Amino acid sequence: MSEISNPLMKIWRALPFTGEAGPLVSVIELNGVIGDAGPGRKGLSLKRLEKSIEAAFKPGSLVAVALAINSPGGSPVQSRLIFSAIRRLAKEKKVPVLAFIEDVGASGGYILAIAGDEIYADESSIVGSIGVIAGGFGFTEAIAKLGIERRVHTAGENKSTLDPFKPEDPEEVARLEGILSDLHRQFIDLVKSRRTDKLSDHPDIFSGAFWAAPQAKELGLIDGTAQFADFLRARYGKDVKIKRVSPESGSLLKKLLGGEANMTGLGPSVDPDAVLDAIERRSLWARFGL
């Protein structure tokens, strides 16, 4: 039996990281809000992505690892953890990393992008938002109108800091702003360490503003505009193999038993935490018109 007609050989060549020799680029898909803290959260986190990142750097025939990024940001901690995991393996394996921003690479999404040695984006991509934000609501007048009395007992004078059911305290706000400033400085330092002499001296680069890709290129936030498949073929040749690596979505049985389908026959139920989570995620995307 010839090699071409051998069904086992066809199956083998169809598997990831196998087949005929040629330059190979692994693509790590980084899509969604960053963070995995709280009920119902299924955003990007190191825990969820760690195996995918390791798998992307594993093949011996790699010429590069590409990051396909579409994220409006989220947790600064998870952003940096994912960034660090990618940079550690890039250094260990001595493999270049190319970042490609799709719709959005902003805030924490831009931290993911600077894990790349080069950053590219589509002409219409949104890039930047190098800043830190904390938001919430105040309910003091609402509970007063409803005749509700707020009762809080703490051990530690600052334990109820920024309680949404009491008026804002200037000292508490100043403390929060100090924390945000520290986080912002860390963000700025990280961007400067990765983009070095590429950044312009535009005063708004670190203001939290964001831009379309052409202006982001002028500011030095990205290296150019390109779509990753065309770019990779132009750089590595038309025979380049592109293999996408994504976090496992889980089995159908796991989804059914994990509460993603109602098995009781009593109709759908509403999880308040999931609703609030969806609203928060929607608000992050909405900032960029998406």
147 and 61 together in one domain: no
Question: How many residues are recorded in the chain?
Answer: 290
- The 3-state DSSP class for residue 113 equals helix
pLDDT > 50? residue 255: no
Average pLDDT value for residue range 160-180: 81
Dihedral class, residue 151 (left if φ above 0, else alpha if ψ from -120 to 50, else beta): beta
182 and 223 together in one domain: no
Res 141: pLDDT? 74
Average pLDDT value for residue range 198-204: 94
9 and 84 together in one domain: yes
Quote the strand ranges of the chain, DSSP E. 24-31, 62-71, 97-106, 118-121, 126-128, 210-212, 224-225, 241-245
Average pLDDT value for residue range 186-212: 94
Res 20: pLDDT? 52
Eight-class DSSP state of 44: B
Angle (deg, nearest 10), helices 76-93 and 170-195: 20
Instruction: Please state, rounded to an integer, the average pLDDT across all residues of the chain.
Output: 80
21 and 106 together in one domain: yes
139 and 125 together in one domain: no
Domain contains 259: no
CA distance 169 to 162: 7
% of the chain with per-residue pLDDT over 90: 52
pLDDT > 80? residue 62: yes
pLDDT > 90? residue 155: no
pLDDT > 90? residue 49: yes
Q: Which of 75, 79, 58, 50 is nearest to 16 (CA)?
A: 58
Q: Which of 5-19, 73-87, 101-115, 159-173 has the lowest mean pLDDT?
A: 5-19
pLDDT > 90? residue 204: yes
Higher pLDDT, 140 or 273: 140
117 and 39 together in one domain: yes
Domain contains 267: no
101 and 179 together in one domain: no
CATH of the domain at 68: 3.90.226.10
pLDDT > 70? residue 252: no
Average pLDDT value for residue range 28-46: 80
Res 267: pLDDT? 46
Domain contains 64: yes
pLDDT > 80? residue 122: yes
Phi/psi at 106 (5° precision): -130, 155
Total structural domains within the chain: 2
Res 287: pLDDT? 58
Domain contains 34: yes
92 and 218 together in one domain: yes
Q: Which of 41-45, 176-180, 185-189, 222-226 has the lowest mean pLDDT?
A: 41-45
- Give the CA distances from residue 131 to residues 1, 101, 107, in Å, rounded to whole numbers and listed in that order: 62, 18, 7
187 and 230 together in one domain: no
Res 1: pLDDT? 43
pLDDT grade, residue 53 (50/70/90)?
A: very high
Higher pLDDT, 39 or 225: 225
Domain contains 281: no
Domain contains 114: yes
155 and 105 together in one domain: no
CA distance 286 to 34: 15
Average pLDDT value for residue range 46-57: 94
pLDDT > 80? residue 159: no
Average pLDDT value for residue range 121-147: 82
138 and 125 together in one domain: no
pLDDT > 70? residue 290: no
Strand partners for 211: 127
pLDDT > 90? residue 100: yes
- Listed residues 194, 224, 243: the one ending a domain: 194
159 and 47 together in one domain: no
CA distance 26 to 196: 26
Domain contains 234: yes
Could you tell me which residues come within 8 angstroms of residue 211 by beta carbon, excluding any fewer than 6 positions away? Answer: 126, 127, 128, 219, 221
Domain contains 199: no
Could you tell me which residues come within 8 angstroms of residue 54 by beta carbon, excluding any fewer than 6 positions away? Answer: 89
Domain that includes residue 11, residue range: 1-129+209-251
